[in-house]
Amino acid sequence: MVEPMLAWVAGGQAQVGWGIADERLGDSIELVAELAAGRHGPGPWFGAVSFSGRAARFVRPEKLETVEWGQAAAARLPPAPRTMSEHWRGLVETATQRIAAGELEKVVVARVHEQPAPKSAWEAFRSLPPAARSYFLRFDGAFFGATPETLLRWSDGVVEIDALAGSAAPGGTFGEKERREHAHVVRDVERALEGYAIERPAQPLVMELPYVRHLHTPVRARAADFAPVLRRLFPTSAVAGAPREKALEFISRHEGVERDWYAGAVGRVSPGEVDLAVALRCCFVHSRIAHVFAGAGIVAGSDAQAEWEETERKMTPVLSALRGAT
């Protein structure tokens, strides 16, 4: 059996594609606006924009099927977190020092775990537990994940964005640190929607996942054109930090992770319709190595060990899927 080129899963249904009928490459997120405007044909197009925003790739498959998508078993928590690395300890300490000095309000730092690749990246993807969006792309390897976070959805003149930040263990509570982290992201989304009539709950909701829980504020607004909003929004403080430019500079100088597609935008685009998610809870399989990514938002009061354990929980669904496909 020939394994698919791509898949996009939302609401219990998957669009699964084979082959490439057409492909578009770009050096910025502007490619999404061009595809949504119909400048490259009818679509649908499936692809991603890198975290840096300097690379974008979307393809239109030769064959596309819509199928029901069964739910995999919930990811099992690892028996104990792996030992924290000294690099991570130093990274979080440096970040909190910059925050205490007033240079940053928040910065999101990431790490990557590497292990031998599974026999089939597609079978690993099939084993991921349900999420808001699941995605699979064969881009110079296999990039796949199951993300809880909608970056931007636009249809019928309505923009929907998820503010998702602030995490706790299953059954755990959210403290002042988590609520500050979430407030940064909500403000970031509201700035991107400045001038629009915004609808959102007065208080954050809680998104419950088997391996972690998140503070969640869904935001809606009417917008005839999504592109100005996306330009102001991407990348959000949920994956970068605040102030954005200073956070991006810190990440570039200190993090030591080649993010590429991780924490960028991934999704489906057709003329008049955009569905983009933040590329989280993901894995990139290349050259027989599986690279599993996770990050944590650092604010005043962050503790390196607690943030390490948060990234361990976030890696859980992908690591469970990889174990099942080995």
Q: Tell me, what's the pLDDT at 80?
A: 52
DSSP secondary structure of 267-306? EEEETTEEEEEE--SEEEEETTEEEEEEEEEE-TT--HHH
Can you tell me the mean pLDDT for 251-257? 97
Indicate the domain borders of the chain. Answer: 6-70+84-325
Length of the chain: 326
8 Å CB contact between 125 and 136: yes
- pLDDT tens by residue, 256-272: 999 999 999 999 999 99
DSSP secondary structure of 4-35? PSEEEEETTEEEEEES-SEEEEESSTHHHHHH
149, 178, 255, 312: the catalytic one is 149
**Strand 265-270 versus strand 6-10 pairing type:** unpaired
Q: 239: how many CB neighbours lie within 10 A of its CB?
A: 26
8 Å CB contact between 17 and 63: yes
8 Å CB contact between 291 and 282: no
Amino acid in position 249: E
Can you tell me the mean pLDDT for 69-85? 66
- pLDDT tens by residue, 88-138: 999 999 999 999 999 999 999 999 999 999 999 999 999 998 888 999 999
Nearest-angstrom CA–CA distance, 129 and 34: 33
Q: Which residues contact 295 (CB under 8 A, 6 or more apart)?
A: 108, 109, 110, 111, 239, 263, 311, 314
- pLDDT tens by residue, 133-152: 999 999 999 999 999 999 99
- pLDDT tens by residue, 5-42: 999 999 889 999 999 999 999 988 999 999 999 999 99
Backbone dihedral region of 157: left (phi > 0), alpha (psi from -120 to 50 degrees) or beta?
left
Banded model confidence at residue 71, pLDDT cuts 50, 70, 90? low
Q: Identify the three-state secondary structure at position 129.
A: coil
Q: Which of 269 and 77 is assigned the larger pLDDT?
A: 269
Structure token pair of residue 125: 């993807």
Mean pLDDT across the chain, nearest whole number? 93
Banded model confidence at residue 1, pLDDT cuts 50, 70, 90? low
The CATH architecture that domain 6-70+84-325 belongs to is: 4-Layer Sandwich (3.60)
| Residue 106 is among the residues annotated as catalytic for this protein | yes
| Residue 310 is among the residues annotated as catalytic for this protein | no
Backbone dihedral region of 19: left (phi > 0), alpha (psi from -120 to 50 degrees) or beta?
left
23, 63, 93, 106: the catalytic one is 106
Q: Tell me, what's the pLDDT at 70?
A: 76
Q: Which residues contact 184 (CB under 8 A, 6 or more apart)?
A: 105, 106, 165, 237, 241, 242, 297, 299
- Determine what percent of the chain falls in helix, strand and coil, rounding each to the nearest 5: 25, 35, 40
